[in-house]
Amino acid sequence: MRNARPRSRARGGHALAQVERDTTFLGLQSMIDLPRPEVISAIRHAREAGIRTIMITGDYAMTARAIARQIGLLTEDGHQAAHGDLLTSATRNPEVVTGTELEAMSDDALREQVKTTSVFARVAPEHKVRIVTAVRNNNQVAAMTGDGVNDAPALKRADIGVAMGITGTDVSKETADMVLTDDNYASIVSAVEQGRIIYSNIRKFVFYLLGCNVAEIFIILGATVAGLRSPLTAIQLLWLNLMTDGAPALALGLEKGDPDVMKVPPRPAKEPIINRRMVLGMATQTVALMVAVLGVYAIALQMFPAQAETMAFAALAFAELPLAYTSRSERYAVARIGLFSNRAMQWAVLASIAGLLAVIYIPFLNPVFDTAPLTWQHWALVLPAIFAPALVAEITKAVARKKGWR
């Protein structure tokens, strides 16, 4: 009987035993796509900012695990690196979840899994959509990156879809909300930092303008209720909005951000720009301005009746300039962020001071703005009212910071 086992043959019909004779092993060549060096620090900065980074890859679990350890996504013992309240030290999550394991999970189980697992390997396109959906169902904002046609559904499902500009396909670029021109994760973290600074500057702009304008309304209202004539005329209010409100408010939009802008947790997605902390700050600022200006006005009516309106106008106008400095940060004192670190603010304040002094001391402008020149005796009464509201604002910030109010 003939042997039924077929002989091993190489390509072309030659037996392997014949092909592999008289050979010498010289070496083995392999290739590796190393992560970019800046990704390691970018992931660390994102973690400090309260942002979780999740790796979703089609590679094998062993490869994903090795890369995740290199970039700091996993610690040496295989667990996700944690910071703050993202994960407790006692958390024990699977270091890598594969697509096969993911398929066996229900949607509720996956929602719990994505809270602690940051590496998913051997995933299919539908798995990416499920992961993004699970993150969003946990009331978290999901930003998804991708470059291929298979990534389009997940990019569409995410809150923010980010396509790769260099290696990305046309389908992924058309589906995504934005395109990353350099295909670098570190650029995403930098964009988050700039976005936080822009949003914070918008809040400062709104806070300063609303606080000052509401104070002006209550000053006129308070004088009317007290039976006094209005301390401010219409043209004076217009000049205030042009000089002391407009220029410093624009300068607030050029702030560089707080020193720890990337070390605070993300704000709630549904939190309005004018939150409770801003309302508290505007309320204290309004009360401080109203008390200071009306106090100067009431005293001036008894001591300097001819200059009373001008003194109230000067007290309000000049008091808003120190408030512009206190508005440069919602949490830190002016000394902490640097008094002269915003050059635009210096020019804005100097221009405002020049415009305000002009309408007080240039003779032909006095009848236009209903003002009168002030002497040192008048300024002695006005000066304390100028700096009192700013002092109250700084104290309010210190109390809020100590209490940990967001």
CATH number of residue 275's parent domain: 1.20.1110.10
In a domain, residue 302? The reply is yes
Return the ∠ at Cα 131 (arms to 125 and 134), rounded to 5°: 145
Number of domains in the chain: 2
Backbone dihedral region for residue 68 (phi beyond 0: left; psi -120 to 50: alpha; all else: beta): alpha
Statement to judge: residues 260 and 331 lie in one domain: yes
* 8 A C-beta contact, residue 71 and residue 134: no
Q: How remote is the C-alpha of 40 from its chain's centroid?
A: 21
Please identify, among 163, 188, 213, the residue that sits at the C-terminal boundary of a domain: 188
* 8 A C-beta contact, residue 132 and residue 158: yes
Statement to judge: residues 224 and 343 lie in one domain: yes
Sign of the dihedral defined by the CA atoms of residues 278, 283, 288, 289, in that order: positive
Statement to judge: residues 220 and 177 lie in one domain: no
Statement to judge: residues 236 and 184 lie in one domain: no
Query: What CATH number did the domain enclosing 83 receive?
Result: 3.40.50.1000
* 8 A C-beta contact, residue 31 and residue 23: no
Return the ∠ at Cα 306 (arms to 300 and 308), rounded to 5°: 35
Statement to judge: residues 113 and 234 lie in one domain: no
Statement to judge: residues 273 and 156 lie in one domain: no
Closest CA to 314 of 248, 360, 362: 360
Tokens of 89: 């030290």
Name the residue range of residue 281's domain. 196-403
In a domain, residue 9? The reply is no
* DSSP-derived secondary structure for 345-403: HHHHHHHHHHHHHHHHH-GGGHHHHT-----HHHHHHHHHHHHHHHHHHHHHHHHHHHH
In a domain, residue 32? The reply is no
Please identify, among 158, 188, 218, the residue that sits at the C-terminal boundary of a domain: 188
Statement to judge: residues 43 and 123 lie in one domain: yes
Instruction: Please count the CA atoms within 13 angstroms of the CA of 292 that sit on its side-chain side.
Output: 28
Statement to judge: residues 179 and 259 lie in one domain: no
Statement to judge: residues 216 and 129 lie in one domain: no
Statement to judge: residues 181 and 200 lie in one domain: no
What are the angstrom distances between the C-alpha of 83 and each of 46, 132, 216? 10, 22, 45
- The single residue listed with the structure tokens 């210190």 is 398
In a domain, residue 17? The reply is no
According to DSSP, the residues that pair with 160 across neighbouring strands are 143
- 15 DSSP 8-state letter: B
In a domain, residue 262? The reply is yes
Distance CA 181, CA 346 (A): 36
Please identify, among 145, 170, 188, the residue that sits at the C-terminal boundary of a domain: 188
Q: CA-CA-CA-CA torsion for 118, 120, 124, 127, nearest 10 degrees?
A: -40
Statement to judge: residues 260 and 313 lie in one domain: yes
pLDDT of residue 88: 37
In a domain, residue 150? The reply is yes
Statement to judge: residues 88 and 208 lie in one domain: no
Distance CA 246, CA 8 (A): 86
In a domain, residue 19? The reply is no
Enter the pTM of the model.
0.82
Distance CA 74, CA 80 (A): 4
Q: Which residues of the chain have pLDDT under 50?
A: 1-7, 10, 78, 83-92
pLDDT of residue 81: 55
Percent of the chain with pLDDT over 90: 69
In a domain, residue 226? The reply is yes
